[in-house]
Amino acid sequence: MNTLLAPNRVVQDDVRAVAEELQGTLAPLAGSTILITGGSGFLCSYFLEIIAWLNDIAWQSPCRVITADNLRSGVAERVAHLAGRPDFRFITHDVSQPFSIDERVEWIIHGAGIASPPFYRKYPLETIDVNVMGTRHILELAKRQNTRSVLYLSSRRPRPSEYPDRRRLPRLRFLHRAARVL
């Protein structure tokens, strides 16, 4: 397999530094299967790059990566160079809709979401759906699969203290953050 195929040199340098620092911490992923939702998004594309680097450089038994993304706000070109790898599988799917995986998943990183203000203004209900129903579907999948762990990500920090009364609707520009704390 090729290493550090990210087309951007800055991303390559970041991936190398993070992978080297977290190699021991991420060792339990070696030889297992991980589902990453929102794999074409900013945060999760880095996870894909780091796992690819560790598979190539550090691990004897590679981690199998399945990534699900509907590509509504993610950028497919960000991870296109990983598509031909035998240790990666890309699924086009909106996690706000039920789905199942035909192979055992031991770990899940749920990073699917609409975090960009222009996108969540354009898709306000979908923003809520992916954060609420998408998370529910991921947790149901994790339960069915007896997944070892689920990590929930957000590129914006949820702040429940901003919405102590859940009946008060936030302004549209804060819709992503509000959906994360519902």
Q: Which pLDDT score is estimated for 8?
A: 79
Let me know: does 162 contact 176? Beta carbons within 8 Å: no
Q: Which pLDDT score is estimated for 76?
A: 85
Does residue 165 surpass a pLDDT of 60?
no
Let me know: does 54 contact 30? Beta carbons within 8 Å: yes
pLDDT digits (tens, 9 = 90+) for 25-80: 999 999 999 999 999 888 899 999 999 999 999 999 999 999 999 888 778 888 99
CA pair distance 95, 39, nearest whole angstrom: 12
Let me know: does 78 contact 107? Beta carbons within 8 Å: no
Q: What is the pTM of this model?
A: 0.81
Q: For the chain, how big is the Rg over CA atoms in Å?
A: 17
Let me know: does 48 contact 67? Beta carbons within 8 Å: yes
Q: Which strands sit side by side in the sheet containing 149-152, from one edge to the other?
A: 88-92, 64-69, 33-37, 107-110, 149-152
Q: Which pLDDT score is estimated for 159?
A: 55
Let me know: does 28 contact 103? Beta carbons within 8 Å: no
Does residue 11 surpass a pLDDT of 90?
no
Average pLDDT value for residue range 144-156: 87
CA pair distance 56, 8, nearest whole angstrom: 18
Domains parsed from the chain with CATH numbers: 9-181 (3.40.50.720)
Question: What confidence category does residue 117 fall into, taking pLDDT thresholds of 50, 70 and 90?
Answer: confident
Average pLDDT value for residue range 159-170: 52
CA angle 49, 55, 57 (to 5 degrees): 95
